[in-house]
Amino acid sequence: MRSIIFLAILCLGAVLTGPLFDGSARAQENVAFRSYLESIRPKARAMGIRDATLDSVFPTLTPNPRVIELDQNQPGGGAYSPIPNFEPYRQRHVDAARISRGRVAYQANRARLARIEAETGVPEEIMVAIYGHETNYGSYTGDFDLIRSLATLAYEGRRRSLFEPELLATLKMLDSGVPRSRLVGSWAGATGYPQFLPSVYLRLGKDGDGDGRVDIWNSEADALASIANYFVNAGWRRGQPWGVAVSLPGGLDRASLAARTSPARCPRVFNRHSRWLSMAEWRRLGVTSIAGNWPPDTVMATLLEPDGPGKTAYLLTSNYRAILDYNCSNFYALSVGLLADAVRQ
């Protein structure tokens, strides 16, 4: 009987003290979180961010456990792990609905797209394809509070070198007059129609409608001009395609085409590419264009077989590398290029 009573007392104690303990742990975390925020105040001041801005926002912030969960559950992959097939991804991301909506957006924006292409050399359809791929032409842009999300990720520390500068950039946006209500997006900080990180917005955001503001959340003109400006900064070459779908001869010696350098960036992506050859050299090897289009002989390209030998392959120019700069994924860049081609047809 005594043991039963003692066990009941222990259980009651656990019930009573459990929430208190949890509350204490949360309180301690909030203190540590606030301490971290105060530690970045000197960096914010050095960027010209006013203390009044920081004082208005810091007390409103708490860590967001959902953001940490999403960050820690990101899929991984070794640099040399097998590449999955591209075709299922293509079917999901270059589908009839996205192509149809892209053609509507393309036609609705032809005047401004033509002007931006004339100024930058970035094709109209590439701008539209990024817009479609990132937010399905503005239909979803994310609803996470950017400042809270980025403060959480920077505080957590696993990738502080990435997220702390983005937190500071978001605070700079707020200090420069961007309303807090507009600073929403993905859990990792991407925002607006182009899904720019805050630092990218500050560097490359562009006023496309001439109203003196860079509003990538509501203005398609600003979003498209900003996308084009991004690609100019990434080295887009005027008049050069992103790539071409090709068929390969049966006896192609792939070993002789292997890249001879080890990529310092995105090895999982670039290890899939061959070394660079001119289009004339690829043609002499028996490579043929599926659609009949063929870039000038002097254009340099690498070879990618995203679904393995015997399936559609691609010769990819330096402009494909500019798309990779936007998102370093072969599947992403290929689907952007293919969506652009379909939208333009």
Q: Encode pLDDT of 16-38 as tens digits.
A: 444 444 667 777 888 899 999 99
User: What is the pTM for the complete model shown?
Assistant: 0.89
Q: Encode pLDDT of 53-105 as tens digits.
A: 999 999 999 999 999 999 988 765 555 567 789 999 999 999 999 999 999 99
| pLDDT score of 242 more than 50 | yes
The neighbour count for residue 246, using CB atoms within 10 Å, is 20
Average pLDDT over all residues of the chain: 91
What region, left, alpha or beta, does residue 302 occupy, with left being phi > 0 and alpha being psi -120 to 50 degrees? beta
Backbone φ, ψ for residue 288 (5° rounding): -125, 150
Q: Encode pLDDT of 137-178 as tens digits.
A: 999 999 999 999 999 999 998 899 999 999 999 999 999 999
For CA atoms 73, 74, 76, 82, the dihedral sign is: positive
